[in-house]
Amino acid sequence: MSSSYSISDLARELDITTRAIRFYEEQGMLTPERRGQERVYSPKDKVTLKLILRGKRIGFSLAECKELIELYDPESGNRKQLETFMHKIAERRAQLEQQLLDIQQMQLELDTAEERCLAALEATESQQA
């Protein structure tokens, strides 16, 4: 495993843009060293970036990702981080369940609207005939 990465190495390896990496750096989530104009990322930066990407995939906001990353404390066995993560997972799951119910309700309303439109079209056609 490499002990450092360039921005292009990380971008290629994690399939993201260098612009995205610079954005996370601007947000204070990554702290690369500088060698002149070149950014040099550590293995810790790579892990942080993986955590950010995973968090985004499961629907966490950038602020939530940042909060979880900042809670990292290997001396405590990461208990606080894990408990917070579990709480956020439960919240996200509840949001998704509500969204699913909302979608199902919308589908029922679309079905009703479609049936009414079809009935109105049939009525119009029979009046014209």
Is residue 1 over pLDDT 80? no
Would you place residue 24 in the very low, low, confident or very high pLDDT band (cuts 50, 70, 90)? Answer: very high
Q: Which CATH class is domain 1-70?
A: mainly alpha
| Residue 30 near residue 49, CB atoms below 8 Å | yes
Chain-centroid distance, C-alpha 115: 37
Which of 77, 34, 68, 69 shows the shortest CA–CA distance to 48? 69
Reported pTM: 0.75
pLDDT for the residue numbered 2: 63
Neighbouring residues of 125: CB distance < 8 A, sequence distance ≥ 6: none
| Torsion of the alpha carbons at 82, 24, 95 and 72, rounded to the nearest 10 | 10
Give the Cα separation of 68 and 104 in Å (integer): 32
